[in-house]
Each structure stands twice: as C-alpha cells, then as structure tokens.
Amino acid sequence: MDEQQEKAIATMCQEMGLAIGGVRRRGAVLVLEPAEGGSLPDAERLGAIARALSEQGYRYVTLDLAGFETREVRDA
C-alpha cells in the first residue's frame, strides 16, 4: 500500500466520522489507528465504513477493540 492509498482511506474514514491517526498494512491486515481523543462512531456509521472498504476490495472488515498484536498473548 502506498502513501496515496493510505491518505485516501484515512480521508474516506474521516469524512464518514471515524477519526483516524494512521493507516498501515500488516500482511493481509489493514490497520486503522484511532486518533488521540477520538470516539467510536455509531453502528450505522461503522457499517457504512465497512461497506466502503469492502467495495475497495478489502475482503474482511472487522473492528478490533483490543488492538492487534503478533505472537503475543494479552493478559486477561
């Protein structure tokens, strides 16, 4: 993913009410990092964002509330 694609995704999300601090890829995973002090949009808005990302070719769109970590197990 190049810088232009990252900016386009961040702009789309911001226009739909999701404050994004950064966009990056981890293998097949697209990571949308929340902006500092941002709040979680309502379910309808999140659904619209998921549909828009799906239309751009992202096969799986999910919300990770705990944060993505590789090879680590979070303490419960």
pLDDT, tens digit, 9 for 90 and up, residues 3-50: 888 889 889 988 988 888 888 887 777 888 877 777 778 889 889 989
Residue 76 has pLDDT above 60, yes or no: no
The kind and range of the H/E element at 61 are none
Query: Which position has the higher pLDDT, 40 or 56?
Result: 56
Domain ranges of the chain: 3-55
Cβ-count burial of 73 within 10 angstroms (0-12 exposed, 13-18 middle, 19+ buried)?
exposed
Give 58-69 pLDDT, tens digit per residue: 888 887 777 655
* Residue type for position 45: R
- Helix then strand count (H, E) for the chain reads 2, 2
Which residues, in sequence order, are bridge partners of residue 26?
A: 29
